[in-house]
A = this chain, B = another copy of it.
């Protein structure tokens, strides 16, 4: 028989400093007309997922971080996984925009490459850039159907890099197979998430320079 245990239930305490009728807006955005609640959730989730991992972050953490109660994020998202997917998608869309701009510019391959490396380092290590690190770190936590929904954007990102690296090869600046180069190169940069500490050692500009120098063997 099912029984309801009161001691088992954790009644959420009434939110402090908050009127019943006029509910104060969460602090984050300055001009947020209703629609941005979803955006707030995504942005805050990105930060939490990056800091504590997907499994280490609870829906309650996310809710409270934007001033909601524990069940309310499910009004905006069908599941915790869909929040994760939204975080990754936002990161990819932003990243793609920048990479597309760089690749489309009429500069020599070497300059494009420099810009790509610098941009990718910013995307992965820059202050407040939590979206792509979450993608890199918690990709496995997504269900296959949500992975599929995102993988198209990921592929486009990779293809733009591939194109630039091929140009580098045509220009005689690298000799190895350009697909292997892409994988090793992006891997090296992506992995920097594990060791780079902002404010300690190299700046992002310096790291970018050294990275290009090393990979091009100059």
- A152 at interface, CB cutoff 8 A: no
**Residue picked from A139, A181, A214, most chain B C-beta under 10 Å:** A214
The CA-CA distance from A177 to B141 in the complex, in Å, is 36
Whether A175 contacts B3 in the complex (CB less than 8 A), given A187-B192, A192-B183, comes out as no
The CA-CA distance from A42 to B215 in the complex, in Å, is 38
Interface 9-mer from A11-19, A107-115, A205-213: A205-213
Is the pair A218, B175 in contact by a Cβ cutoff of 8 Å? yes
| Residues in chain B near residue A189, CB distance under 8 A | 187
| Residues in chain B near residue A194, CB distance under 8 A | 136, 139, 187, 190
Range of interface residues on A (Cβ < 8 Å) = 35 or more
- A56 at interface, CB cutoff 8 A: yes
| Residues in chain B near residue A31, CB distance under 8 A | none
Whether A217 contacts B140 in the complex (CB less than 8 A), given A180-B210, A187-B187, comes out as no
Is the pair B187, A191 in contact by a Cβ cutoff of 8 Å? yes
Is the pair B183, A195 in contact by a Cβ cutoff of 8 Å? yes
The CA-CA distance from A2 to B6 in the complex, in Å, is 9
The CA-CA distance from A183 to B125 in the complex, in Å, is 15
The CA-CA distance from A195 to B154 in the complex, in Å, is 13
The CA-CA distance from A99 to B158 in the complex, in Å, is 33
Q: How far is the CB of A154 from chain B (nearest CB, A)?
A: 11
Chain A, residues 157-185, CB within 8 Å of chain B (1/0): the string is 00000000000000000111100110111
Q: Which residue of B lies closest to A53 (CB)?
A: B140
